[in-house]
């Protein structure tokens, strides 16, 4: 993760399969995740399983496909939608 927008050519050539991510991308992902977790938490209940399911359903459509690890959208064990 870096604040840089590009790598130096000599560094890029030796980076191999390393992926460079901008800090702004990670910050954006964190903000989105924080909102979804807050929405889930607001509907969650320790003693009410149905409330938990409702809270999960409320955020399901807003989850990115790669995060939908239980195949909630497409029914597969791993979702690449």
On whether the CB atoms of residues 43 and 57 are closer than 8 A, the answer is: no
Residue 44 lies in a domain: yes
- pTM: predicted TM-score of the whole model, two decimal places: 0.58
Residue 3 lies in a domain: no
Residue 74 lies in a domain: no
Domain carrying residue 63: 9-67
Number of structural domains in the chain: 1
Residue 23 lies in a domain: yes
Residue 76 lies in a domain: no
In this predicted structure, what is the pLDDT of residue 38?
93
What 3-6 contacts at long range (C-beta under 8 Å, 24+ apart), as own/partner pairs, is: none
Residue 4 lies in a domain: no
Residue 25 lies in a domain: yes
Is the pLDDT at 7 greater than 90, yes or no? no
pLDDT digits (tens, 9 = 90+) for 30-80: 898 899 899 999 998 899 988 988 888 888 888 876 665 554 455 554 444
Range 1-26 average pLDDT: 76
Residue 77 lies in a domain: no
**Spatial CB neighbours of 54, under 8 Å, sequence gap ≥ 6:** 43
């Amino acid at each position: 993760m870096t604040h840089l927008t590009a790598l130096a050519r000599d560094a890029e050539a030796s980076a191999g399969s390393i992926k460079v991510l901008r800090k702004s991308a990670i910050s954006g992902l964190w903000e989105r995740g924080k909102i979804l977790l807050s929405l889930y938490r607001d509907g969650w209940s320790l003693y009410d399983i149905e409330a938990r399911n409702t809270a999960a359903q409320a955020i399901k459509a807003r989850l990115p496909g790669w995060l939908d690890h239980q195949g909630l959208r497409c029914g597969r064990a791993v979702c690449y939608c």
